[in-house]
Each structure stands twice: as structure tokens, then as C-alpha cells.
Copies of this chain bind each other. A is one copy, B any other.
């Protein structure tokens, strides 16, 4: 039995941080994680079961105020940051300097191109260092970047929308099937936990229930990730997110045109071939389509499609759990890849 990995999580009190904590607590290759709440949540040490009564009866787990004194290679092999991007932008350089590997769940290190980073308006104290770290960061989508992840010091865990869209489009784009000039439409719908735990007018039950609304049309921050990973230009993508009256889950409906007439069998083969070695992507055969319920509380991204009679117009459906494959599950999958373990370890 090898030594268990020493991990720490900052931001246990958020939705993604808590989900991650639950996964780490039952991961067979990971020791009990050091748990931190977020900056601004006080100095007090609390019990995880006081913060989340649903885990009471499963042992005692202290959640402490974050302290650098505990983040040293002797204590922590791998640090997970489930923190706002401003915090991640500030803390990651220090963690890396201390020789700790990092998986950051925020948008702080996902973007290579300055034009896309503009959406975040980062205020770096050491811009040169930040630039170097940006170059070094690996976008944590194992299905695309598996090899680079193995040696990564800093992994930028993808956005939930971005994961659902990139995984649906990558096979067809890389296979050269898509008529790029026509553009790709991404109509995405997400549950409310994607908006975080901070109470606000837009997450108030009465505003969300019995409702549906589009938001951030043409200007959602995840667009940059999608463009960079798929090597598309801004003109080639339209992305419209919608807020669903459900707690979790994303369904993205993608519309594109194929370069030449294809059969459903060819499209399915393209998807299946691409994900042959990827246990966390499920391809559905027509006419079956993914639904949000199918991937809830799993690390799966489910893909399905419908091809028009003309063999050109293609509708792709991509579903995942925004806290699973869209955040915490993917972070664990990234850890599995970084340490050379089976990708399904601790996630089945």
C-alpha cells in the first residue's frame, strides 16, 4: 500500500469545495485532506458536520482558517483551491513557489490569451510572474490534455459550461467535420449551484422557480476557454447561457453544420473514437439523447446528437453535473491523471 497523498482544500464552504471534500474523503489513495474555509469566513475552526449536517455521523473533520504555515511540501502534496478567481490569482504563485502542486477550480489560470483574460480584469502584484505561471498552467480537461497533465505543477480546472461544450465539439472539430465559416451555436442551460453559494437576487428561490432566463449573452467568461481550447475565433461561436430552476446540472444544445454530407453512423463513430480511452464521456446512440438527470451526481459528460435528413445540420446535446464533471469530479479526475492513477479512482 503506497503512502496516501497529502491534500488540502481551500474553500470547503462553497458548493464545489464541499463536493470536492466529499470525494477526497472517500478516495482510496488520498489521506484525510486538510480543510480550510475561505478568507473572510473568520478565524474559527469548525467541524465539517456543523457546516454540512448531511455528513454528520461520518467522523470528525476540522475546517480551519487558511494559513500558509500549513501549506508546505511536508504537509501538502496537492492543494485544491475552490476560491474566487481574485484569491486564486494571488495565492497560486505562492503555493507554486513553495513547491506544492495546485489544482485551481476558479477561472484565474485557464486563459492563455490576454484578450480573453480581459474579462477578468486581473490585478497582479507581480505581472511577470503571473505571465510565467500562465504559460506553465495546464487546462485540466483530461480528455484533451491528458499527457501534459501528468507533469503539471498548476492545473486550471475548467469551467462547467466550457467542459460541456468543449467535450461535445472537440471530436468533430479535430476530425475536420465542421463547417467553421458557418459558426457554432451553443445554447446552454445550467442549474443554480453554478452561480455559487453567495445569496443574491438572481439566486433567490422566488426569482428562479417557475422561471427561465438567458444571461450574459455574447459575454460570458467561459467563452474564452472554449475558444482557446477549440482554437476558434470569437466570430465562430455564439454562446448563450440560461438559468434553470434546478439545483444542479447542465444541458448544452449545440448547433453546427457539417462540411460535407455525413451519416449518423459517421458522426457517432467520430465521437466514439475520440473518447475510446476516456471512461468519463458517454456517447449515446440515436435516437437516445442525454438528459440532465442521467449524469447528476456522477463524473460523466454525456453526449448525444441528432442529424438532419440533409446530413449537414447537426444538433449535439451535452449533459453533465456542474459540480461533478463540471467542477469537483473533474478536479479529482485531474488529480488521478497527475499521479498516474486510474482515472476512475474514487469517482465510481
* Residue A205 is within 8 A (CB to CB) of chain B in the complex: yes
A42 sits at the interface (CB 8 A): no
Stretch of A209-217, A224-232, A329-337 at the chain-chain interface = A209-217
In contact, B213 and A291 (Cβ under 8 angstroms): yes
Counting CB contacts under 8 A, is A101 at the interface?
no
The interface residues of chain B lying within 8 Å CB-to-CB of A172 are none
Of all chain B residues, the one with the shortest Cβ separation from A289 is B214
Inter-subunit contact B192/A212 (CB<8 Å): no
Tallying the copies of this chain within the complex gives 4
A183 on the interface (CB 8 Å rule)?
A: yes
Q: Is the CB of A212 within 8 A of B292?
A: yes
A215 partner residues in chain B, CB cutoff 8 A: 289
User: In the complex the two chains form, is A217's CB within 8 Å of B315's CB?
Assistant: yes
A205 / chain B contacts, CB cutoff of 8 Å: 192, 203-205, 208-209, 245, 247
Tell yes or no: A57 within 8 A of B by CB.
yes
- Taking CB atoms, residues of chain B closer than 8 Å to A54 are 293-296, 298
Write the chain B residue with the least CB distance to A291.
B213
Stretch at the interface among A30-38, A128-136, A155-163, A234-242: A234-242
Given the known A-B contacts A292-B213, A308-B238, are A197 and B206 also in contact in the complex, defined by CB atoms under 8 Å?
Answer: yes
Number of interface residues of A (CB under 8 A): 70
Question: CB-CB contacts of A238-254 with B at 8 A, as 1s and 0s?
Answer: 10101011111101010
List B contacts of A15 (CB < 8 A): 206
Give the interface centre of A218, A279, A300 by most chain B CB atoms within 10 Å.
Answer: A218
- Among candidates B192, B208, B235, B317, residue contacting A214 with C-beta atoms closer than 8 Å: B317
- Ordered by A's residue number, 14 sampled pairs between the chains whose C-beta atoms are within 8 Å are A56-B284, A185-B185, A189-B189, A189-B242, A199-B201, A209-B245, A210-B292, A212-B246, A212-B292, A213-B289, A213-B291, A218-B306, A218-B309, A255-B255
